[in-house]
Structure formats: structure tokens, C-alpha cells
Amino acid sequence: MKQDSKHMDAMLRLSKGVRKVPVIVDGDDVTIGFGGT
């Protein structure tokens, strides 16, 4: 994401603005962080 800001934009869109990693997308399911919030 540091090298290409479009990846940061995609992550923020998928996570609804949450800046926490990892953001895991499986179909329609989005898991944010190690605990899966």
C-alpha cells in the first residue's frame, strides 16, 4: 500500500474507513484485524 495509493483506497473502501490490518476479503465477507472484527 505504500507503493500504490490505489490499494490503500481499496482497503479503506472495503473496511469502511477502518485503518487496521489485515483486511481479508472472502466473497462478500470482510474480516478486519487478527480477531476478525
pLDDT tens, residue by residue, 1-37? 678 899 999 999 999 999 998 999 999 999 999 876 5
CB-CB contact of 30 with 18 (8 Å): no
Counting other chains too, the contacts that 29-34 makes at CB distance below 8 Å and 24 or more residues apart are: none
Q: Which residues contact 11 (CB under 8 A, 6 or more apart)?
A: 1, 21, 23
Residues 36 and 6: their CA atoms lie apart, in Å, by: 24
What amino acid occupies position 32? I
- pTM listed for this prediction: 0.71
Residues 30 and 10: their CA atoms lie apart, in Å, by: 12
Say what the pLDDT of residue 37 is: 57
